Amino acid sequence: MNEYSETFLRELPKTDLHVHLDGSIRLSTLIELAKGQGVQLPSYSEEGLRETVFKDRYENLVEYLNGFQYTCAVLQTPEALERAAYELAHDNFAEGVRYFEVRFAPQLHVHANLDIKKVISSVARGLDRARAEINQGEGIRLGTEPRFEAGIITCAMRMFTPVFSEYYRRFMAVHAFSPPQNVYAMASLELARAVVSLRNDHGLPIVGFDLAGTEAGYPAGDHEAAYAYVHRHFVNKTVHAGEAYGPESIFQAITELHADRIGHGYHLFSPERIHSPGIRDRDEYIRRLAQYIAERRVTLEVCLTSNLQTMPELTAIREHALSKMLLARLSVTLCTDNRTVSNTSVSNEIGIALKNFNIGPHQLKNIIIYGFKRSFFPGSYNDKRNYVRQVIDYYETVAKKHGY
């Protein structure tokens, strides 16, 4: 395996295209907000929270998701949302991330005093404030370093219950006589319509639409209307797929939801997770699916630490499907998923990949640059091309500085 210094990995320009706001709040901020809002926590020290909630390893996905009940609870005001976004932007830049897309489900934060527009606007203000401060740096002002940019991805939920949020409680009450899958679909379509309006009519920096939540038993196809709507309005699309289900989920995300990227995609190469009796040759199905993804450069947002923490069957990073993804020459980008819940950073994810997989200098550069090229960059195509070119030049300058 190739050895790279931690300083080199931190200085490299990087992206994080898959990071959840409510999973990446600073523990010190969580504690402060909880005290001020009267939210009960298992501990009011960072060490205590690491021992009881935000661990290095979890028993399963349920335990992993346990911490979100506390982070979501404190992110119910415009001020808290703006602060969390502002701090997340600074935390990213501090480790060399030059572009990131923060994702969250606005409906988890909506209540009588906070609508979807205010939720997204609050996050946008935090990002804008951080961007303005960061881009005053000398290297960025002089044009010798790529500027810092960020975008927002809004998440629809595959399923929800009344306890998820006040919004979902009221939504389910209004549609109490509709089948649950129809209710989930209607909520996604409502969010899709709001997203297009807020982007087009109010100029909010929404760069993409996502589908998150429980995968098994809640197919992406139920949300086809929402994705068709954003697709018709030229909104970029990503889908959590292949994290807790198999290749068929990824296929559905690409073909029925027009996904430009796939969140996780871990089980792309898992024939034992194919359930359709109509697929007789499972290995051939996977081969064709992987080739389809490769040829269309559908990028996989790989989250190594998160997968290790939520999948009991994955006992070591070396067993991760990233090796097969690289062998198939797929477009992959390394992401954090949740900086706080997974106790990680982009630099850490890259370091883990380098220690466990045979990734040479050329392939490392490709992986990192893929993140910029396949981002949902909030600007014109020409602006994006110029930005990526500057990133590549800066990458080569950093690599040369460190002798790589």
Look up residue 145 and give its two tokens. Answer: 């370093």
b/e burial code for range 172-192 (CB count within 10 A of at least 16 → b) = beeeeeeeebebbbbbbbbbb
- How would you label 264-288 residue by residue, b for 16+ Cβ within 10 Å and e otherwise? bbbbbbbeebbeeeeeeebeebbee
Q: How far is CA 16 from CA 99, 371, 386, in A?
A: 7, 7, 19
* Token output for 337: 């998923």
> Which segments within 115-229 are labelled E, that is strand?
149-157, 206-212
Bridge partners (DSSP) listed for residue 151? 101
Q: Measured between alpha carbons, how far is residue 8 from residues 23, 25, 93 in Å? A: 26, 26, 15
> Exactly one of 11, 101, 243, 301 is catalytic; which is it?
243
Residues 6+ apart with CB under 8 A from 376: 17, 101, 151, 153, 207, 208, 236, 260
Identity of the amino acid at 328 = A
Alpha-carbon dihedral of residues 315, 320, 321, 327, nearest 10 degrees?
Answer: -140
Residue 224 annotated among the catalytic residues of the structure = no
| CA-to-CA dists, residue 49 to 30, 59, 70, angstroms | 10, 16, 11
Does residue 294 sit in helix, strand or coil?
Answer: helix
Residues in the chain: 404
Taking the mean position of all CA atoms in its chain, how far away is CA 156?
13
Q: Catalytic site residues?
A: 243
